[in-house]
């Protein structure tokens, strides 16, 4: 995995400045379009052009199961992972609908679903039949971690080869909010109670149990929290590792990433720990309803595009934010300048 240590390019500051100058000339008061102005200037730098676009989208959903589900930390049984993968492939999931509406390429990658699925449209890069139980030991072996990271890198390379304007990574895996919360606590040193949310819909008793399981996980692996790949290997899931690989490789290839919610941001935190320059290539799509997400947003020092109380995953929140990005680009490209419209500028 030599690619893991490849460097990330820097955003194009000349393109950013050209976009900033164009924004200043459009027929509106400076800053009147708020965050839409900021995000289009960022996109200009990431795409290396003064007038960015978000026409070609590549969405990859990684699916895997978690051994920690054996601890009873989810409101849904583990078989739901495989059932939802089938739903993705049949076009009935939220991300399936959103991808169709956006005209996006959507691919589903099995990186370790416990119940193998045979489907002609399913990409299989399995690292195992689900991870081991992280409350008892490391979630995956070093070899399994490498396989999952590579699956993500391969997805980013396919997106770059297809000349995508933007990459979105999604995930599916029962109990993955437990794994992600443990990662948040390990990376950000967040109190467990503050970071833990209901996931798929736990009641108060279920939440308290989940907190205790996460406490056991953290106590089991605490001596390895100074190494991001070890945090990922011990606490994470195959789909979280794949997302980490995808974010790293996308940044190395100069491909902008629109990050989804709570689980996806856990992968982003690890990717940035491995290579800080990855942060330049990540746009946060929305604020998750999971409480721990607040701490990651603060750490990344970004303002997410949306705050809609979303907590579905699948890449759905990122997909929902795409029309906003498209409108930002359209305004940037198509609004008249003061000179072209013969409108007087600011006194």
Active site residues: 314
Cα–Cα dist 35/135, whole Å:
41
What backbone phi and psi angles, to 5 degrees, belong to 192?
A: -60, -45
> Long-range contacts: 224-231, Cβ < 8 Å, 24+?
225/186, 225/187, 228/187, 228/270, 228/273, 228/274, 229/145, 229/270, 229/274, 231/183, 231/186, 231/187, 231/270, 231/273
Q: Which two tokens stand for residue 14?
A: 């000349």
Report the 10 Å Cβ neighbour count for 204.
8
Q: End-to-end distance of the chain based on CA atoms, in angstroms? A: 58
Residue identified by tokens 């607040």 is 294
What backbone phi and psi angles, to 5 degrees, belong to 60?
A: -120, 125
User: In residues, how long is the chain?
Assistant: 347
């Amino acid at each position: 995995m030599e690619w893991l240590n490849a460097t990330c390019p820097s955003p194009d500051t000349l393109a950013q400045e050209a976009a900033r100058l164009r924004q200043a000339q459009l027929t509106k008061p400076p800053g009147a379009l708020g965050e839409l102005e900021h995000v289009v200037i960022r996109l200009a730098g990431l795409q290396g052009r003064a007038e960015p676009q978000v026409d070609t989208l590549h969405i990859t959903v990684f699916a895997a199961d978690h051994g920690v589900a054996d601890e009873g930390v989810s409101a849904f049984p583990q078989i739901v992972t495989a059932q939802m993968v089938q739903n993705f492939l049949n076009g009935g999931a939220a991300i399936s609908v959103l991808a169709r509406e956006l005209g996006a390429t959507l691919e589903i990658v099995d990186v370790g679903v416990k119940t193998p699925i045979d489907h002609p449209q399913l990409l299989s890069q399995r690292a195992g039949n689900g991870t081991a139980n992280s409350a008892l030991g490391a979630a995956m072996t070093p070899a399994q971690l490498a396989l999952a990271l590579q699956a993500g890198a391969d997805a980013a390379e396919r997106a770059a080869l297809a000349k995508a304007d933007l990459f979105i990574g999604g995930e599916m895996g029962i109990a993955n909010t437990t794994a992600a919360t443990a990662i948040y606590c390990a990376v950000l040193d967040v109190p467990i109670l503050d970071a833990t949310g209901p996931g798929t819909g736990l009641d108060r008793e279920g939440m308290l149990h989940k907190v205790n399981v996460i406490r056991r996980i953290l106590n089991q692996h605490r001596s390895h929290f100074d190494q991001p790949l070890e945090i990922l290997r011990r606490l994470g899931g195959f789909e979280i590792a794949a997302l980490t690989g995808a974010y790293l490789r996308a940044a190395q290839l100069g491909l902008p990433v629109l990050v989804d919610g709570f689980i996806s941001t856990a992968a982003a935190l690890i990717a940035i720990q491995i290579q800080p320059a990855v942060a330049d290539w990540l746009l946060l799509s929305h604020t998750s309803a999971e409480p721990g997400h607040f701490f990651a947003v603060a750490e990344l020092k970004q303002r997410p595009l949306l705050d809609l109380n979303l907590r579905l995953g699948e890449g759905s929140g990122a997909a929902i934010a795409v029309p906003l990005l498209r409108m930002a680009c359209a305004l940037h490209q198509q609004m008249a300048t003061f000179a072209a419209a013969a409108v007087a500028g600011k006194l």
